[in-house]
Structure 1
């Protein structure tokens, strides 16, 4: 089927009080695993390519993007392409020609005024190209160059500041800092659900949770019930992939055919995708929490 758009998938999820899962991809095996996992769950999904992934691929966006687009067009469920954590304006401008319907423009490392100015300029350009754009406010942490601790005073997203930021920047979605941390390999992050509910009431656009791999299932369910409409997942797939390869090679130390251990890794990632989508799909009543009404 034709490529879906991220904006359409997130808007539908928000209206249904659920969340669309957005998985970061690095290899073709990631692409195939995410689509297979979404098909098994019979659910839409977003394929995300981060600026770090582009850097890993020698700075070339199009090879992975085109492979993802071709695979997405052959999927049995709606699939959208999203360019994630973009700091480079040059990379931002490559998005429309590479098949992306959306971009997360990341100026959160900057002071508020500079973040707002940079994001406003990115939004103006992106909207002129028909791109849906997400930004970040607060300090989620866990990425290179983010020295501030995600749990330090002032790191969390302030609801009134978020309201003003969205109104002044024109972004279509906002990633918020509520206790999750990027790149966690343990599922011990404790989200501030009271803050999330305040943010959901203050901000009129869909909210996004980054660093979701470190959040336990019950925390994810409560986050969706509290107003999160897009959940980003990256490290969980890396953990599943690495574990499967290690287990395969430990059991078969003589193996040299990459198709064998990459096949095992792809299957493990697909199972994790299906599992995570299942966690995010139940409506708010599954968490015993009433959905938050938006302004």
Structure 2
């Protein structure tokens, strides 16, 4: 089927979670998985098809750097795979700091982008994000931004939404969303990027206040380190999009390591990449199930 639009997938899940029907439908969230290789792409789609759920394929700026700075090869592979999927699949450009990369998004098939200026002081973050949002909206893109903890206190620099200990202030976030014009906001409530253990404890009281204060979907980054029950509670509390990356790499690397330990003579990369792809697909299916309650 044709590529889906990230914004439409998020809006659809939000509507499902706020229906007035009795009993109410459980809240749910869109699962968004970061992909690095073709095996990642195939695994995410296979897992989503097994779960019978839409999914977002995310390509980060770091993944583009890994691919020698070229966006199109991975984007075209993702598009080709998505168009053959039996579930809706959208493409999202993640953690973009380069304006040059941002401007490649529409032509590469992306319907959405996460523009990350959170490393800048608040006013500079706001100005850069506002400019990015204006440009993105003119191109028909849905845009997500990030607001962690504003710096300036005691000379401290700003901390992004997933720096240890960072927390998003609801009133600051409300002003940022209104003044920047973004469509979604990644918030700091206790998760961290690249966690290899699932030990993160989320601030659910803060999430409730953010959800009540903001009129846009909230996004949870660093979700690989969040236990299942915490993820379910976050979705019930208002998270509409859940970003997952490290969990796939853990599954892939673990499966490949186990295969090569058992078969040290193996040299055919299809053998170990295949078991890695299967492990990632199982992880995708399981985590989508968690987000659906």
TM-score bracket, shorter-length normalisation? over 0.9
> In the aligned structure 2, how far is the partner of 1:146 from the partner of 1:52?
21
Q: Secondary structure at the match of 1:118?
A: helix
Runs (4 or more) in structure 1 with deviation over 4 Å come to 145-149
5+ residue gaps, structure 2: 17-26, 151-156
Q: Secondary structure at the match of 1:204?
A: coil
Counterpart residue number, 2:42: 32
Counterpart residue number, 1:244: 255
How many pairs are equivalent?
276
Counterpart residue number, 2:195: 184
Counterpart residue number, 2:6: 6
Q: Work out which of the residue numbers 145, 150, 171 in structure 1 matches 2:163.
A: 150
Alpha-carbon offset, residue 127 of structure 1: 0.2
> In the aligned structure 2, how far is the partner of 1:254 from the partner of 1:241?
19
Pair 1:264–1:146, CA change in 2 (3 A): farther
Q: Secondary structure at the match of 2:146?
A: strand
Counterpart residue number, 1:73: 83
> In the aligned structure 2, how far is the partner of 1:150 from the partner of 1:222?
21
> In the aligned structure 1, how far is the partner of 2:222 from the partner of 2:254?
20
> In the aligned structure 2, how far is the partner of 1:15 from the partner of 1:201?
16
Report which stretch shifted further, 229-238 or 11-20.
11-20
5+ residue gaps, structure 1: 283-295
Q: Work out which of the residue numbers 57, 70, 92 in structure 2 matches 1:60.
A: 70
> In the aligned structure 1, how far is the partner of 2:159 from the partner of 2:201?
20
Aligned Cα root-mean-square deviation (Å)? 1.5
Alpha-carbon offset, residue 112 of structure 1: 1.0
The equivalences for 1:209-288 within 5 A come to: 209-282=220-293
Q: What TM-score do the two structures reach when normalised by structure 1?
A: 0.91
> In the aligned structure 1, how far is the partner of 2:100 from the partner of 2:191?
29
Pair 1:117–1:146, CA change in 2 (3 A): closer
> In the aligned structure 1, how far is the partner of 2:40 from the partner of 2:82?
12
Q: Secondary structure at the match of 2:41?
A: helix
Q: What TM-score do the two structures reach when normalised by structure 2?
A: 0.92
